[in-house]
A and B are shown apart, each in its own frame.
Chain A
Amino acid sequence: MRTRYFIAILLAPWLLTAALANPYETTLSNGLRVIVKEDRRAPTAVQMVWYRIGSMDEVDGASGVAHVLEHMMFKGTPSVGAGEFNQRVAAAGGRDNAFTSRDYTAYFQQVPKEKLEEMMQLEADRMRHLNVDAKEFAQEIKVVMEERRLRTDDNPQAKLFEQMNAVAFQAHPYRRPIIGWMNDLETMTAADAKAWYDTWYVPNNATLILTGDIDHQHAFALAEKYYGVLDSRPLPARKPLAEPPQEGMRRVNVKAPAELPVLIMGFKAPILRDVDKDSDPYALEMLSAVLDGHDAARFNKHLVREQKVALSVGISYDATARGPGMIYLHGSPAEGRTVAELEAALRGEIARVQKEGVSLPELKRAKAQLLASQVYKLDSMFGQAMEIGQTEAVGISYRKLDRILEKLQKVSASDVQAVASKYFGDDTLTVGVLDPQPLDGKPRRPAIATRH
C-alpha cells in the first residue's frame, strides 16, 4: 500500500496511465513469448531475445559451449553472411552484443526506432537458420580462449571465484565456469556448438523483449511476421538438479600474482521461487542493504573506517536464479591486517545482527534507497529490458516485479534478524582465499596467515 502511495506522487501522470497496461504481452503460436514495454521518451528502441539456456545446461567435458555458441551466432546464416549481422546493425546506427550466464543466453540491439523492424528480421533469422561453419569455428574458439585468459586466467579475483564455485557446488552444474575450462575449449568442435544450437535455439525456448518508442500492437504484428514463421520443437526434458546439503565448512586457497589477499565467504542461501509465499530472500536482500547499501552502511563504516581491518569489503546476493543460491561476503584486509582478522570481523558483523538485530532507521534507509532506485531505473530503456529479461529467465513473471517491491518494503527488523541467524552457519560455508604471490616468482615476506 505504502509503495503505491509513494509512486503516485513521484511519477508523472502519463506514466501512471501507461503503467496500467504497460508492458504488454502475447505468445505466438510457436511458443515465443513477446513482451513490449512502451517508453516514448526518445526515438530509440531496444530488442532483446532471451534463450532459457545457459552454462548450467551443459554437461561435463563440454563446459563453455553455451558461451561459444553465443559467439558463433554472429557468424552468419544462408541469407546473412559471416560478420554481416554486425555490419547491418552498425549501418542502422545501432549497437549490439550478447551475454551468457549460468541461467540464460541473451542477444540485444539498441537502434533508432525506425530500424527496429530490420533488427527483428535479423534476429529471427538466426534463431533457426544459423550456419556453424567449421572454419569460422576454428578462429572463434581461439578468440574465446583469449577471452578466458583475459577475464579469468590473468585475473586473480576471477580465478578465486571460479575455484570457489567449483568447491561450493559438487553436484549442481553451477560448479562449472560459464566460460568453460580451458581443456574443454581446446577439445570443443563445431559439431558440439551445432548440436547445442539445434537443441535449444527454438522459439518455444525464448522470450522476445522490446522496449522504447514503439507501439505494442505494431510490435506484436512485426513479431508475428518475422518470428511467427519459425517452427517450434519439443525441448529435451530438463531434470531438476539439486545440490546435496553441505555438511561442513570447505576451504579453498588460490595462489596468483597479486599484492593483496582476497577473502570470499560464501554461504548457501535461498532463492526466490514463489514471489507471494517466500519471505527469506526478501529479508536477505534487506540485510545486504543494511550491511552494504551505502558508504556508511555497517560493513564500510565498521570494518573499513572504524576498525580499519579491511581495505574494502562487500556483500553480494542475487535472490533470483534457476539454480541454488549463495550469499557472499568478500573483501581484502587492510595493510598489516590478516585474512583471518578480516574473516573474524565479518563474522562479528553477522553475529551482531543475530544478537541485536538492525535498527528501524537503518531499515527505513534501505527501503528509501530501493524506492528511489526504481525511479532512476526508468532513465534507461536498456535497463528496463534487462530487468524484464532477467526476471523471466529465472521463471518469474515480470508482472510480479511490483509485488516483489511490495514484499521488500514489508520486510521487518525481526525478519532481517531471523535470516541472519538462519543462513550464516559454518556447515554451509565455503571460504576462498587468494594467496598473493610475487610477480618475479621469488618468495616475498612470510605467507599471509590464514586459518586452516
Chain B
Amino acid sequence: MKKLLTATCAILLTQSVLAGVKIEHWISPSGARVYFVESRVLPILDVQVDFAAGSMFDPAGKSGLAALTRSTLDLGAGNRDESAIAEQLADVGANLGGGADTDRASVALRTLSARDKRDPALDILRNVIQRPKFAAAVVEREQGRTISALKDAMTRPEAIAGKAFWAALYPAHPYGQQATPESLSALSRDDLQAFHARYYTANNANITLVGDLSRSEAEKIAESLVAHLAVGEPAALPPPPATAPGATVKLAHPASQAHISIGMAAIERGDPDFFPLTVGNYTLGGGGFVSRLMKEVRDKRGYAYSVYSYFAPLRHNGPFQIGLQTKRSQAAEAIKLARDVLDGFIKEGPSEEELAAAKANLTGSFPLRLDSNAKILANVSLIGFYSLPLDYLDHYQAKVQAVSAEDVKQAFARHLRPAELITVTVAAD
C-alpha cells in the first residue's frame, strides 16, 4: 500500500511540473493546423512545418520522389539561389533542417529569437516552403548525388538488411517500394513541382512553434508560412498494407557479421494498444541494458554488441522489429535464441516484477523526454502530425501505469503473429 501511494504522489508531482508544457492549438486562416508552446527561458525559436508528403505518397514507378522533393526544397527559393539561402541563414546563426520519412516531410528552423535574427530566418523558411525553384541544374545534380549515395549504401550490410526488411514486410504497398537508381533516374523537375503543388498545401500542413514568442506573434508567423500555398486537399492515403506471409530472406555479403532483422507490420499511430505494447516491449527489447533480449543475447552469451526490439507506429501499420548483429558463423543460433525469447514473451507476457520495472522506468523517465526545447518540439510535432489528443503528454504516465500483464499479453497476441514473422539476414553463413 505504501508503495502504491508513493507511485501516485510521484505522478502528481511530475504532472504539476508538466503544466509548464502547455500546448496551444488553432487552425490558421489558410487551414494549417498550428501547435504552439511558449517558452521564454532561452532566446531561441524553433519552427517545424510537417506535410503529409512522405514516401508513402510516391506515385508508382517514381520511388524516391518525396525524398528528392524535400532535399531540393531549400536549394533555391523565391529570389534566393541555394548559396544565398545558406549564407543568409549562417549570417544570422540559424539552422534549417528536416527531411522526409515514410509519412511526413519536415522543414525545421532553429533561430535566435531576437527580431533582427528571427525575421530574416523566417523569411527564408517562408520562401523555401512556398516558392521552391527546383532549378533544373540543381535537381539534376542532386539526382546524381542521391543515386551515387544509394549505390554506396547498397554495398553496406545494414542498409541492405533495412531495405530488404521493409520490402518483405510491405510487398505491395508504398512502404515497401524503395528508391532505386532506375526510379531516381526517371524523375524530372516537373515531377518535383507537381509533388510540391499537390502535397505542400495549407490543408496538408502541421506547424509547430516552440520558444521565445507570444501567441499573437505565433499566429502571424504560422499563417505567413502557408498563406501563399494552395489550400489544397488533405493527402489521400494509399490503402493500408495487406498482411504479408511469413518469410525468410537470406542475402549474401562478405561482411564478418551477419545483420539480422525479425519482424512484421504491427501497429498504426493512435492505436490504443500503443501503451501495452510499449510497456511490454520495454521488457522484451526496448529497455536498453535491462531487456530480456539484452540479457540473453548479449550479457549471457556475448553474441552481439547491439540487440533491440521496437514498435514503430506509423500512419499505416508500422513495423515491429528485432535487430541484432553477430559474427556470421553463429547467426543461426542467435536467430533461434531471439525467436525463443520473443515466442516466450508472446506466450507468457511479463512477470509482475518485470512489469513494475517497465512502468517505473517509463513513468520515471518522463521528465527526461521534455527537458529541452528540442525535445518538446519533437513531441508536440508528433502529436500534431498524427492528430493525437492534445493532452497526450499529460496522460502518458497514467496510461503506462494502468497497463496490466494481461493487457500486454493480449496486445502482443493481437499485433504479433509468430507465423507471419519475417526474418531477414545479410551475411549469415
Contact = CB atoms under 8 A, between A and B. Distances in A.
A12 B40 contact: yes
Given A12-B43, A375-B43, A305 B157 contact: no
Nearest to A75: B299
Interface residues of A, number: 73
B298 A143 contact: yes
B87 A294 contact: yes
Given A41-B371, A375-B42, A379-B42, A9 B114 contact: yes
Interface residues of B, number: 73
A368 B302 contact: no
A154 B255 contact: yes
Contacts of A376: 44, 95, 110
B299 A372 contact: no
A259 B367 contact: no
A154 B141 CA distance: 30
B227 interface: no
A12 B256 contact: no
Interface in A11-42: 11-12, 41-42
Interface string A358-372: 000000111011011
Interface stretch (A82-90, A119-127, A405-413, A415-423): A82-90
A147 B90 CA distance: 38
A378 interface: yes
B330 to A, nearest CB: 10
B112 A10 contact: yes
B112 A296 contact: no
Contacts of B295: 83
A302 B301 CA distance: 51
Interface in B188-212: none
A379 B373 contact: yes
Contact of B254 (A259, A332, A368, A439): A439
A332 B147 CA distance: 14
A61 interface: no
Given A143-B304, A376-B95, 9 more contacts: A86-B289, A153-B255, A257-B155, A365-B90, A368-B91, A371-B93, A376-B110, A380-B372, A381-B371
24 contacts: A10-B112, A12-B41, A41-B371, A93-B360, A93-B367, A95-B368, A144-B305, A146-B302, A146-B303, A149-B257, A149-B327, A150-B257, A260-B152, A294-B87, A297-B90, A301-B83, A335-B148, A365-B91, A366-B90, A376-B110, A379-B374, A381-B372, A439-B155, A441-B254
Interface of B: 14, 17, 40-44, 82-87, 89-95, 110, 112, 114, 117, 141, 144-145, 147-149, 151-152, 154-157, 252-257, 287-290, 295, 298-306, 325-327, 357, 360-361, 363-368, 370-374
Interface of A: 9-12, 41-44, 74, 83, 86-87, 90-96, 110-112, 115, 138-147, 149-150, 153-154, 257-260, 293-297, 301, 304-305, 308, 311-312, 332, 334-335, 364-366, 368-369, 371-373, 375-376, 378-381, 436, 439-441
